[in-house]
Amino acid sequence: MRNPLFFWTVMLMMGMSAGSAAGGESVPLPPARTSGGMPLMEALKARHSTREFDARPLSSELLSNLLWAAQGVNRPDTGKRTAPSARDWREIDVYVFVREGVSVYEPATHSLRRVADRDLRALTGTQDFPATAPLNLVYVADLGRMADATDDNKRLYSATDAGFIAQNVYLFCASAGLGTVVRGSVDREALSAALGLKENQRIILAQSVGYPR
């Protein structure tokens, strides 16, 4: 099994600094396992929210599988994903927060692109537990990809699409023995500033993941 800090280990091996990574370099995740797991009806029965997490980090393989389940490419011929997207806008980006930093999941290449080299987990929620949860996901809508939609529809469909991704994560966590909870209470202004988000980017939801305590 690869080290749970696979991404940052590979970064060092490749001689990349945090600054170069933040400038757009990506590191591929291990191939996702796309078969097996808990039967769907059992996963639905087991699905629930958890707010107490063990500090143990996820392995790189488990993180890879989780991100693919969230919105990985399941139809390579079209690039379409495991989560539906209104009018195929694909406007939701998944930001991955761990102790070592922040990266963005890139579904087309199943890779992580580093965007911050410090621990920003505490900014992903107004409660205490996100600061110590081993993994927090933040769903950010790029409204610029929805240029032909009205403002009302941008709000409606970006929230709906983020919800689809969050439910995929819930079902994966139920299958994999992980705990998770989706959260709307986020200091969006502070987190947007820390990430350097653009005016057309909006934080929709956050979701904590880890082994239940």
Q: What is the pLDDT of residue 1?
A: 40
Given a cut of 60, is residue 5 above it in pLDDT?
Answer: no
Supply the pTM of this predicted model.
0.90
Radius of gyration of the chain (CA): 16
Q: Looking at residue 144, which CATH number applies to its domain? A: 3.40.109.10
CA-to-CA distance for 152 and 113, rounded, in angstroms?
31
Both tokens of residue 191? 């987190």
Residue 32 lies in a domain: yes
Residue 1 lies in a domain: no
Count Cβ atoms below 10 Å from residue 109 Cβ, excluding itself: 13
Closest among 67, 54, 70 to 177, alpha carbons compared: 54
Residue 114 lies in a domain: yes
Q: What is the pLDDT of residue 143?
A: 97
Residue 46 lies in a domain: yes
Residue 71 lies in a domain: yes
CA distances from 89 to 26, 74, 140 (A): 22, 16, 13
Given a cut of 90, is residue 179 above it in pLDDT?
Answer: yes
Residue 187 lies in a domain: yes
**Mean pLDDT of all residues in 4-23:** 41
Residue 129 lies in a domain: yes
CA 160 from chain centre, in angstroms, equals: 16
Across all residues in the chain, what is the average pLDDT?
91
CA-to-CA distance for 51 and 97, rounded, in angstroms?
17
**Which of residues 6 and 63 earns the better pLDDT score?**
63
Q: Residue 104: give the domain boundaries.
A: 6-210
Give the tens place of pLDDT for each residue, 19-40: 334 455 799 999 999 999 999 9
Confidence bin at 15 (pLDDT 50/70/90): very low
Give the tens place of pLDDT for each residue, 83-138: 999 999 999 999 999 999 999 999 999 999 999 999 999 999 999 999 999 999 99
Q: What is the pLDDT of residue 121?
A: 98
**Mean pLDDT of all residues in 6-16:** 40
Window from 4-13, 118-127, 136-145, 153-162 with minimum mean pLDDT: 4-13
In contact, 158 and 81? CB cutoff 8 Å? no
In contact, 131 and 206? CB cutoff 8 Å? no
Q: What is the pLDDT of residue 154?
A: 98
Q: Domain tally for the chain?
A: 1
CA-to-CA distance for 71 and 75, rounded, in angstroms?
11
Residue 110 lies in a domain: yes
**Which of residues 19 and 207 earns the better pLDDT score?**
207
Q: What is the pLDDT of residue 115?
A: 96
Given a cut of 70, is residue 42 above it in pLDDT?
Answer: yes
